[in-house]
Amino acid sequence: MKWLLSKGDALPISAPKKGVIEVSDTFTKDEPRISHATLWAWDGDEQPRRDADGPYKVCNLRADLSEVPPEKFGRDEKGAAGEDIDIATFEIEVTIEGSVLHFRLLFGDKEYGSVKEEYA
């Protein structure tokens, strides 16, 4: 878990705050290249432990990796069931500017999708 803002931080307007979420996911040969991550929030004063009650879901991120060239994926030839496994290691860049969240899907320096959402 990586926290991008702390309690009491002002939401940046003139100088956006950026953070990067590193993601790794695996896929079998015929499985759709869709990865999911969850953005969480916490209203407590101290960052919670991983097993704490109280963090709440802000949004689910869905990354469609179908446009990413196959050579960008790593390979494991011995998945749990003995099948070939493709390994996707990528970043989700989060930019916070006022109440707007901007997410970009990055493989290396290349963007493969983005979305903006207003946080209410």
Write out the chain's pLDDT in tens, 120 residues: 566 666 776 666 777 888 888 888 989 888 899 998 888 777 777 777 767 777 888 788 888 899 888 888 888 767 667 778 899 999 989 888 878 888 899 988 889 888 887 876
Rounded to whole angstroms, how far apart are CA atoms 54 and 41? 9
Positive or negative CA dihedral for 3, 57, 60, 15?
Answer: negative
State the pLDDT at residue 100.
85
Rounded to whole angstroms, how far apart are CA atoms 95 and 112? 16
Please count the other Cβ atoms lying within 10 Å of the Cβ belonging to residue 92.
20
